[in-house]
Amino acid sequence: MKFRYTDKKDTRSGFGDGLLEAAKKNPNIVALCADLTGSLKMNDFEKNFPERFFQVGIAEANMIGMAAGLATAGKIPFTGTFANFSTSRVYDQIRQSVAYSGKNVKICASHAGLTLGEDGATHQVLEDIGMMKMLPGMTVICPCDYNETKIATMAIAEFDGPVYLRFGRPSWPVFTKEDEKFEIGKGKLMIEGNDVTIVATGHLVWEAIEAQAILEEKGISAEVINIHTIKPLDDELILKSVEKTGCVVSAEEHNIFGGLGESVARLLIKNHPVPQEFVAVNDSFGESATPMELMKKYGIDKTNIVEKVEKVLKRK
């Protein structure tokens, strides 16, 4: 299948639109925001359901505590702030008040990764996936474009249990279908191939698709898998692919430690060991620049995926 795009939208807008649609269907959905309503695209929710919206101000720890309480009372709370504030700043509250008791709280995190861009290293969280997937019972989801973020938001509203939903700031190609089915814990086979498996998540799915086209011109047949749910991982889909191709490249907008790549490596070493290469930020903080400049400098764009594919093929 060939993927093309005719539009670019930020994934955070997919979250905002999905939240509004979910709230129209379920009156128990409430939303909390830490002084970033516009940035999280929660304006329409606040406008349509003012009695179900809580602006907590710059008090993220309080927001998580309030969400836990609302969940105890039968509500379905969605919290919204930047990804670094959604994780690092409130990890104690998430662990003790949400994860430990398995509360039905949806922790929704925008401006994740290097593609936050000019705000710089203090805001470019690159360790959040690792932090959140280590919490027992926490589901971790990282959708790839506007459409997938919208349907993922609607899907987690119907899912019982704590969820970390990670999305971003920049306008990004919209290449998935509006009516595509979203199943938590089940990846998507985007492009079939025979020589190498590329397992990608979030913004890196599009980069993997572009890399596949470059590789095809070089005579290399790459299989591309979209792993939108990092935990629980779709073991079956990944193993089926690597049993055919015999090698894998993981691609993510995250630190090389603790992310999707390590989850894939653990799966493979236990079940079907094959050569693996990692496209991720190499144990570094970011800096201030445009998203594309940062992806190139820190080695997480399509060019790097192509290079890692060529490297892993030599190890087969």
Q: What distance in Å separates the CA atoms of residue 199 and residue 56, rounded to the nearest whole number?
A: 38
Residue 147, both tokens: 């459409």
Active site residues: 60
Helix axes 260-271, 235-245, angle to 10 degrees: 70
Q: What distance in Å separates the CA atoms of residue 227 and residue 143, rounded to the nearest whole number?
A: 8
Q: What distance in Å separates the CA atoms of residue 268 and residue 81, rounded to the nearest whole number?
A: 34
